[in-house]
Amino acid sequence: MCCGGAVTNVKWPFWVFSDSAKGNLLFSFTVPQRFPLRFIAMNLSKPIAALLLVLPLGFLAVMVVAPLFALAFYEGGAAAWQVLQDGYIQWRIGWTTLQAAATCALVLPAGVSAAWVLARLEFRGRLWILRLLMLPFVMPTLVAGMGVLALFGPHGLLWAGWEDTPYLLLYGNVFFNLPVLVRAAYQGLVQVPAARLYTAQTLGANTWQRFWHVERPVLQPWLAGGVCLVFLYCFSGFGLALLLGGSRYATVEVEIYQLIAYELDMAQASVLVWLVLAVTALAGVLYARFSRLTASGRTIRPLPPSPPRTPAAKALLAGSLLLLAVCCALPLVAVWWRAAQAGDAWQVWRLADTLHALWNTLRFTFGAMLSALLLGVLHAALARRAAWVRTLTFLPFMVSPVCVAFGLLLLYPEWTASLPLLVAAYALLAYPFIAKDLLAAWDALPAGYAAAARSLGATPFQTALTVTAPLLLPALRRGLALAAATCVGEFAATLFLSRPEWQTLTTLIYRYLGTAGAENHDSAMVLTAGLMLSALLVFVLLDAADKQEKAV
For position 1, what pLDDT does the model report?
Answer: 39
CA atoms within 13 A of residue 288's CA, in its CB half-sphere: 15
Query: Does residue 10 form part of some domain?
Result: yes
Name the percent of the chain lying above pLDDT 90.
19
194-198 average pLDDT score: 90
Instruction: Flag whether 487 is in a domain.
Output: no
- pLDDT for 74 beyond 80: no
Amino acid at 350: R
pLDDT (0 to 100) of residue 35: 41
Within a domain: 5: yes
Whether 2 is in a domain gets the answer yes
Q: Is residue 176 within 8 Å of residue 524, measured between CB atoms? A: no
Task: Count how many domains the chain has.
Answer: 1
pLDDT tens column, 438-485: 888 888 777 777 777 777 777 776 777 777 788 888 888 888 888 888
Residue numbers of the domain that contains 18: 1-38
Please give the torsion angle defined by the CA atoms of residues 233, 236, 238 and 239, in that order, rounded to the nearest 10 degrees: 0
160 phi, psi to nearest 5 deg: -105, 35
Please state, rounded to an integer, the average pLDDT across all residues of the chain. Answer: 80
Q: What is the pLDDT of residue 307?
A: 92
pTM reported for the whole predicted model: 0.80
State residue 489's pLDDT score.
Answer: 84
Residues in the chain: 552
CA distances 335 to 139, 242, 458, Å, are 13, 18, 54
11-25, 321-335, 504-518: least confident range: 11-25
**Does residue 272 belong to any structural domain of this protein?**
no
Q: Backbone phi, then psi, for 262, in 5-degree steps?
A: -110, -30
Which phi and psi angles does 14 have, rounded to 5°? -150, 155
Instruction: List, for residues 496-520, the tens digit of each pLDDT value.
Output: 787 788 888 888 998 888 887 788 8
Does residue 7 carry a pLDDT above 50? Answer: no
Domain annotation covers residue 191: no
Mean pLDDT of 257-266: 81
Per-residue pLDDT, averaged over 136-141, amounts to: 78
Q: Is 152 exposed, middle or buried (0-12, 13-18, 19+ CB in 10 A)?
A: buried
Q: What is the pLDDT of residues 372-402, one digit of tens each?
A: 999 999 998 888 888 788 878 878 877 778 8
> Which pLDDT score is estimated for 72?
67
**Residue range 307-312: mean pLDDT, rounded:** 90
Lowest mean pLDDT among 130-139, 172-181, 252-261, 333-342: 130-139
Cβ-proximal residues to 433 (8 Å cutoff; 6+ apart), any chain:
372, 376, 479, 482, 483, 486
Q: Is residue 48 assigned to a domain? A: no
Looking at residue 231, what is its pLDDT? 93
Has residue 7 been placed in a domain? yes
